[in-house]
């Protein structure tokens, strides 16, 4: 540990004048002076962060009565990739089994790939994996310590679940800057959404209109809300429904439906959700707290008018109180507006609208 800490110290001393240094167990506090080689503090911090990470430490910059203080913590151990592989294999099984619960009505001959268990597995897992890889790619660019994506298995659809609880990345330390935080957060939903669109188009095109009589005895999942994207894509394949008919989504289309709903939930600007990361990165801590509370109020009001929004309100309230309603922000917290702020905010707003759940009449 001593040699690793020395590498971290050298990286800091090369970029900053140091006013004082104190050691508290495994933590080192370094009070920073002026940067040595760069005209601004932000440029010097951008240089320091990856070098300190590579030196075996986690950096955290904060202001207190001493001034600008850089805390150095020992780097934690890396997880073993065997867990990623094991969880992925189990998730593939549980999602495939979930896909077995779908079947086309007997009147439909040769329904095609979109009605197979594999289609449900592809439609659900591919966007989720691409979502996490979007995060992971930006983390690599900004040298943010993180694990590889984990797929999380869940009981299959036959037991009331979806076969997976999604995918996650273990963020081992905070991103270096507000720019890194917001870009890392938006990259995941954007990548997952883009890959989900063609899958949704194909799945919706293969969905079928059937009479209610043909579905007697068939267990269905009634959908009272639909993401705006599903509604818009459905306009590409107009179908006239009689009062006694229903649109039966193919497994691929239903998987896309789930992906868009999960994306919306993840984009809610609360705590450490992707939406919370984005708002904290582009608008700062006060705006993050205000917007989080405002969203909860809006969802409660919508739930009073339409009970279908109760689930979203409960999830938002739970996450808010579990997290304390706050976000720690970037590791190097000298706040500075990013040149990507406007584009990130624009993409975030568009994705939030396109995945928003709309009541079905």
User: Residue 34 belongs to a domain with what CATH number?
Assistant: 3.90.1070
**HSE-CB for 355 with a 13 A CA cutoff:** 27
Does residue 193 or residue 361 have the better pLDDT?
193
CA-atom Rg of the chain in angstroms: 24
Q: For residues 317 and 297, give the distance between their C-alpha atoms in angstroms, rounded to a whole number.
A: 10
Q: Quick check: 4 pLDDT over 60?
A: no
Q: For residues 17 and 34, give the distance between their C-alpha atoms in angstroms, rounded to a whole number.
A: 5
The answer on 112 and 40 residing in a single domain is no
- Who's near 77: CB < 8 A, 6+ residues apart? none
Which of 5-9, 29-33, 99-103, 133-137 has the weakest average pLDDT? 5-9
Q: Quick check: 1 pLDDT over 50?
A: no
Q: For residues 275 and 347, give the distance between their C-alpha atoms in angstroms, rounded to a whole number.
A: 11
Does residue 245 or residue 234 have the better pLDDT?
234
303-331 average pLDDT score: 89
Q: Considering its fold, how many domains does the chain have in total?
A: 2
Burial, 145: exposed, middle or buried (Cβ in 10 Å; 0-12, 13-18, 19+)? middle
The answer on 243 and 118 residing in a single domain is yes
pLDDT of residue 118: 94
In this predicted model, what pLDDT tens digit does every residue of 27-66 receive, in sequence order? 899 999 999 988 888 888 888 999 999 888 999 999 889 9
In this predicted model, what pLDDT tens digit does every residue of 239-275 receive, in sequence order? 767 777 788 899 999 999 999 999 999 999 998 899 9
The answer on 342 and 215 residing in a single domain is yes
Average pLDDT, the chain: 89
Q: Quick check: 3 pLDDT over 50?
A: no
The answer on 243 and 224 residing in a single domain is yes
159-171 average pLDDT score: 90
In this predicted model, what pLDDT tens digit does every residue of 123-149 receive, in sequence order? 999 999 999 999 999 999 999 999 889
Instruction: Calculate the CA 116 to chain-centre distance.
Output: 27
Q: Quick check: 110 pLDDT over 90?
A: no
- Who's near 192: CB < 8 A, 6+ residues apart? 127, 128, 130, 131, 134, 259, 263
Out of 74, 101, 117, pick the residue that ends a domain: 74
Q: Read off the pTM.
A: 0.90
The answer on 213 and 121 residing in a single domain is yes
The answer on 88 and 70 residing in a single domain is no
In this predicted model, what pLDDT tens digit does every residue of 281-293 receive, in sequence order? 988 889 999 999 9
Q: Quick check: 2 pLDDT over 50?
A: no
What range defines the domain where residue 117 resides? Answer: 81-359
The answer on 85 and 36 residing in a single domain is no
pLDDT of residue 219: 67
Q: For residues 298 and 277, give the distance between their C-alpha atoms in angstroms, rounded to a whole number.
A: 20
Out of 10, 43, 74, pick the residue that ends a domain: 74
Identify the band that residue 336 occupies on the pLDDT scale cut at 50, 70 and 90.
low
Q: Quick check: 108 pLDDT over 80?
A: no
The answer on 68 and 86 residing in a single domain is no
Burial, 241: exposed, middle or buried (Cβ in 10 Å; 0-12, 13-18, 19+)? exposed
Identify the band that residue 216 occupies on the pLDDT scale cut at 50, 70 and 90.
low
pLDDT of residue 104: 75
Out of 74, 101, 132, pick the residue that ends a domain: 74
- Who's near 361: CB < 8 A, 6+ residues apart? none
- Who's near 160: CB < 8 A, 6+ residues apart? none
CA-nearest of 228, 295, 301, 306 to 267 is 295
Q: Quick check: 121 pLDDT over 90?
A: yes
Backbone angles phi, psi at 171, to 5 degrees: -80, 105
The answer on 302 and 219 residing in a single domain is yes
């Amino acid at each position: 540990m001593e040699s690793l800490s020395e590498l971290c110290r050298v990286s800091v001393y090369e970029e900053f004048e140091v006013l004082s240094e104190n050691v508290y167990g495994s933590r080192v506090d370094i009070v920073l002076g002026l940067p040595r080689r760069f005209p601004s503090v932000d440029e010097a911090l951008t240089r320091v962060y990856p070098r300190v990470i590579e030196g075996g430490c986690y950096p955290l910059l904060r202001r207190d009565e001493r001034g600008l203080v850089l805390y150095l913590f020992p780097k934690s151990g890396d997880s073993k990739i065997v867990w990623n592989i094991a969880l992925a294999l189990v998730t593939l099984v549980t999602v495939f089994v979930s896909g077995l619960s779908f079947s086309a009505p007997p009147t439909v001959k040769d329904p095609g790939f979109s009605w197979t268990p594999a289609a449900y597995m592809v439609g659900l897992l591919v966007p989720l994996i691409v979502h996490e890889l979007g995060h992971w790619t930006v983390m690599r660019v900004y040298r943010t310590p993180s694990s590889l994506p984990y797929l999380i298995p869940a009981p299959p659809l036959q037991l009331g679940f979806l076969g997976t609880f999604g995918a996650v990345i273990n963020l081992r330390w905070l991103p270096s800057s507000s720019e890194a935080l917001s870009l890392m957060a938006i990259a995941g939903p954007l990548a997952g959404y883009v890959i989900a669109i063609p899958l949704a188009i194909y799945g919706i095109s293969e969905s079928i209109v059937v009479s209610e009589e043909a579905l007697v005895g068939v267990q269905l999942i009634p959908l009272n809300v639909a993401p705006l994207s599903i509604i818009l894509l459905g306009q590409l394949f107009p179908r006239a429904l009689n009062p006694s008919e229903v649109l039966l989504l193919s497994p691929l289309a239903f998987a896309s439906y789930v992906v868009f709903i999960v994306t919306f939930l993840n984009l809610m600007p609360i705590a450490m959700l992707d939406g919370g990361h984005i708002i904290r990165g582009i608008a700062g801590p006060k705006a993050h707290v205000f917007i989080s509370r405002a969203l909860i109020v809006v969802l409660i009001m919508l739930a009073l008018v339409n009970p279908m929004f109760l689930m979203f309100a409960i999830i938002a309230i739970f996450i808010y109180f579990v997290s304390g309603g706050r976000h720690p922000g970037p590791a190097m917290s000298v706040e500075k507006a990013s040149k990507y702020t406007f584009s990130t905010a624009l993409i975030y707003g568009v994705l939030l609208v396109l995945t928003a759940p709309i009541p079905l009449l």
